[in-house]
Amino acid sequence: MHRKILILGLIFAAFSVLLGAFGAHALKSMVREDKLQIFETGVRYQFMHAMALITLAIYYHHQHLSIKEQKWIGWAAHLFIAGTLLFSGSLYILTLLSATNHPLIRFIGPITPLGGLCFILGWCFWLWAVYLKKVDK
């Protein structure tokens, strides 16, 4: 499982650089500065959680985890992935839709906090896995 987490973390990291470059160059001429900052927030959170996935994969690989600990690490990884897709993805879509004043904007906005909740839960689940590791020893 750690290999899949690592691969997704690396893909998310590469795409965050690509999207950051897109925002800094192409998108800059399409949207207002406040909308560009929203896009950049999505890029920043995507990159942070790409690094979290990479670190999580390394932690998973180097620790002798019980089945229970592996389960919590797996949940943390899945929540980081879902959080990235929901949080950062919704911010990207909101920014791009704002360039055209598309009516879907009002439906996309409420998705962002769900992604944030996934991030928070992912960190809590990782914390729980680490706590369980300490208890097991």
Predicted confidence (pLDDT) per residue in 80-134, tens digit: 999 999 999 999 999 988 888 787 778 888 899 999 999 999 999 999 999 988 7
CA distance 98 to 17: 22
CA distance 15 to 81: 13
Helices and strands in the chain, H and E counts: 6, 0
Q: 112, 88 in Cβ contact below 8 A?
A: no
Question: Structure pTM?
Answer: 0.92
Task: State the pLDDT at residue 48.
Answer: 98
